[in-house]
Structure formats: structure tokens, C-alpha cells
Chain A
Amino acid sequence: QVQLVQSGAEVKKPGASVKVSCKVSGYTLTELSMHWVRQPPGKGLEWMGSFDPEHGETIYAQRFQGRVTMTEDTSTDTAYMDLRSLRSEDTAVYYCATAYGDYRGFDYWGQGTLVTVSS
């Protein structure tokens, strides 16, 4: 069984950066492919990006291109999502998600990390 535990809530000022972590247990990160999804307060789910093992690269949603970087530390089985140049519209709960087997699956989710952007 895969478990994902995310870092705690963050409050950031506009223009700052935030780095959210997602610690994997039950499997190693090399056996999984990580996705990141966000959800603004009271709104729906928005895909941000995923690691695609078939192409060996991370695919980002167009609207975050240049502002987001998703990385992995296989020595600690921890994935990271770094979002820069924050604006108020980035206030949201950020989730990591993954699956074992089909790299496109979103079978397991972290508990979410609330990022609040406010001056």
C-alpha cells in the first residue's frame, strides 16, 4: 500500500516561492510516477504536472510552464513541487498523487498542503 505524506501549510507573500514535499512510504519513489494537482478554495481539481516514465521527463500544464518545477529525491523517497512568482490566485490546496502499476493512475493521494498567498 502506498502512503503519501505532505508537508505542512504555508503562508507566502506575492512574488515569493513555495516548495511542497510529498514523502512516499510502502514503495520506493523509483517504482512510482508522481502527479501534482491543486484545488483553489471552493473550486474543482486542476492538474499541474506529472512525471512520464515513457518519455523520461516531467510534463507540466501549459499555464504553469516556467513557474513550476517538480523534482524527486530518490534517496529519501520524497517528491517536491516548487512554484515561483506566487500570486493570490495560487492560493489553493496542493496534492501529490500516484499509482503503482499504471504510471497514469491517481490511485493514492497525499493529505494536501494549503498554500495561502497574501500580502
Chain B
Amino acid sequence: DIQMTQSPSSLSASVGDRVTITCRASQAISNYLAWFQQKPGKAPKSLIYAASSLQSGVPSKFSGSGSGTDFTLTISSLQPEDFATYYCQQYNGYPYTFGQGTKLEIK
């Protein structure tokens, strides 16, 4: 199975900051990487697919990059509604696997 490792596991930041979350795959997955945002009590929301493609309706403050084994999600100009948990997921092959999540908290 492909293991997905996110770092950091938690992150404190202030409104207006720019943050980066990293996701590493245990083997190459090309660009078959998605990012999701989840708020407490809600279903995950798709932000990015194919490593760097923004989902329709998602603000351009979210951006993704990477290929192979190393990927990043960057969020610029943090706003209160951006504080949530973020997950990466690989869909290069079965079983599809998720990272353990990164909890972004207000400093």
C-alpha cells in the first residue's frame, strides 16, 4: 500500500499568514494527488485534484504543486474560515490512501 505522510500534523497561524502543508508518498504516484478541507461535523470538501488543479469554485488562495512523491498545499492570506483540517489523498492505485491530516489552528 502507498503510505501518505503529511507534515506538520498541526499548525498554528494567524489571520493573513501564508502557510504550506507537505504530503509525501511512499512511492511515486505521478500527479494523482488530491487535497481536501474538512471542518468539524462536516463532510470533506475537495480543493485540489491532479496535484495542482483547482476545483471549480475554490478560491485561488489555495494552490497545489508537486509530482512523484512530494507535494505541497499552500494557502495564502489566511482567513478565519480557512482554519480546518486538511487531508491529502493518492488515487494512483488501490487501495486509495489518505494522509493523517493537518489541523490548522488560529494562533
Binding site for B on A (CB under 8 A): 35, 37, 44-47, 50, 59, 61-62, 95, 97, 102, 104-112
Given A104-B32, A104-B91, A106-B89, are A45 and B49 neighbors across the interface (CB < 8 Å)? no
Who on chain B is nearest to A95 by CB? B43
- B75 → chain A closest CB, angstroms: 19
Question: Which residue of A45, A50, A104, A112 is within 8 Å of B98 (Cβ)?
Answer: A45
Are B43 and A47 in contact, with the CB atoms below 8 A?
A: no
Q: Is the C-beta of B76 less than 8 angstroms from some C-beta in chain A?
A: no
Question: Which residue of B36, B55, B97 is within 8 Å of A47 (Cβ)?
Answer: B97
For chain B, give the interface size range: 20 to 34
Are B45 and A109 in contact, with the CB atoms below 8 A?
A: yes
When A and B form their complex, which 4 residue pairs have the shortest distance between CB atoms, in order from nearest?
A: A109-B43, A47-B96, A104-B91, A45-B98
Question: Which residue of B43, B44, B98 is within 8 Å of A46 (Cβ)?
Answer: B98
Contacts of A111 in B (CB 8 A): 43
Most buried by B among A44, A95, A110, A112: A44
Q: Is the C-beta of B83 less than 8 angstroms from some C-beta in chain A?
A: no
What would be 7 A-B contacts, judged by CB atoms less than 8 Å apart? A44-B98, A47-B97, A47-B98, A105-B49, A105-B91, A106-B46, A112-B43
